[in-house]
Amino acid sequence: MASCVRPLALLSLALFALSGCGLVQRAERPAWRAQAEKACLAEGRVRPSASIREIGAIDGPGICGTEHPLKVTALKGGALPLDKSIVIDCPMVAALEDWLDAVVQPAAMNRFGVGVAELDVFGGYSCRTVDNLAGEKLSEHAFANAVDVSGFVLTDGRKIIIVRDWKRDGTQESAFLHEAHAGACGHFTTVLGPGADVFHYNHFHLDLAMHGRTNTGMRRYCKPLPDANLAPPPGRPDGLPPAPDVDEPMDVAAAKPRHPAATFAQTPMDLHGPNFAFPSAVGTLETDLQPTVLPQDAPRATASEELGDE
């Protein structure tokens, strides 16, 4: 028995010595994440308010977390509430507001003659792997860098629900959702919706993952592929050869779950977007969307207090 214990003890001492010399180190969050947060806050793209409150830094487990998390209950200075509070980072807040201004509100006015009054969401920060599958990489949700949108509420009370309305061919609701999805591809680096895979049949996954660059700008993943009439225009070539196409739709930080990956039987999915003609718009109305002006600073709260009800 002693002969078995001695090698294990020696191995433990060796590993301890290596860690003391810095050869075995704790994994660290990629530096670009903190840099993006700091730049967003320094540029004033988002300011803390009663509806966007700073909470304490989230550090772990593992490399999950973010340095400057924000608990969000409403966007656009409190004028556009979420159906539940979420924790996301500054770049995601700014991207959501830009998407609402440039895509969602104009599309709603064009299709329904009224704007969007509420954004329905499944969640933001969650320390988990992609699609909650064992053995997968960490999701952008693990860094508060993603939001799952499940639907919209119009100012007249009508609800547009992705799981119900996305496939209602020939309706204003379906046309609006396809326009919102396609437009998101110009504001986020990953956009997944119904038809992307079996996990996104009922929501849009939006994130700002770092996929690298191509010769026309940042690499973006948008699935299902939008109709050609809705897809954002391609970036201007920079003269460099195209970057290799690596199919890496999520963050590259690895997670190490205890259980082997689950196996799912998946049926083929249509990745080429709608194959029907959109109905004519109800009418085109001029909109005068104002730049974001958020109220003054609100008191900070601790991460443990704010994450308790998520």
More confident residue, 158 or 9: 158
Residue spans of the domains in the chain: they are 26-235+245-277+294-300
Residue 210 pLDDT grade (very low, low, confident, very high; cuts 50, 70, 90): confident
Q: What is the mean pLDDT of residues 60-66?
A: 92
Rounded Cα distance between 234 and 249, Å, is: 19
Residue 246 DSSP label: -
Q: Please report, rounded to a whole number, the percentage of residues in the chain having pLDDT higher than 90.
A: 53
Picking from 111-115, 142-146, 272-276, which range would have the lowest pLDDT averaged per residue? Answer: 272-276
Rounded Cα distance between 13 and 23, Å, is: 14
Q: Please report the pLDDT score of residue 145 as a whole number.
A: 96
Residue 26 pLDDT grade (very low, low, confident, very high; cuts 50, 70, 90): low
By the 8 A CB rule, do 163 and 107 touch? no
Return left, alpha or beta for 215; rule: phi > 0 is left, psi -120 to 50 is alpha, else beta: alpha
Res 108 pLDDT > 70: yes
More confident residue, 3 or 140: 140
Q: Please report the pLDDT score of residue 24 as a whole number.
A: 46
Which residues, in sequence order, are CB contacts of 151 under 8 Å at separation 6+? 120, 159, 160, 161, 162
Res 77 pLDDT > 90: yes
Q: What is the mean pLDDT of residues 256-275?
A: 32
- 81, HSE (Cβ side, Cα atoms, 13 Å): 5
Q: What is the mean pLDDT of residues 37-61?
A: 94
The continuous run of DSSP H or E covering 191 comes out as strand 190-192
Specify the 3-state DSSP secondary structure of 39.
helix
Q: What is the mean pLDDT of residues 114-124?
A: 97
Q: What is the pLDDT of residues 152-207, one digit of tens each?
A: 999 999 999 999 999 999 999 999 999 999 999 999 999 999 999 899 999 999 99
Q: Please report the pLDDT score of residue 195 as a whole number.
A: 93
Letter for the amino acid at 135?
Answer: G
More confident residue, 245 or 17: 245
Helix, strand, coil shares, percent, the chain, to 5: 25, 20, 55
The CA angle 41-209-305, to the nearest 5 degrees, is 55
Rounded Cα distance between 296 and 35, Å, is: 24
Residue 136 pLDDT grade (very low, low, confident, very high; cuts 50, 70, 90): confident
Specify the 3-state DSSP secondary structure of 112.
helix
Find residue 118's DSSP bridge partners: 153
Rounded Cα distance between 179 and 172, Å, is: 10
The CA angle 112-118-124, to the nearest 5 degrees, is 130
Which of 42, 18, 172, 46 lies closest to 107, judged by CA? Answer: 172
Instruction: Give me the chain's average pLDDT, please.
Output: 76
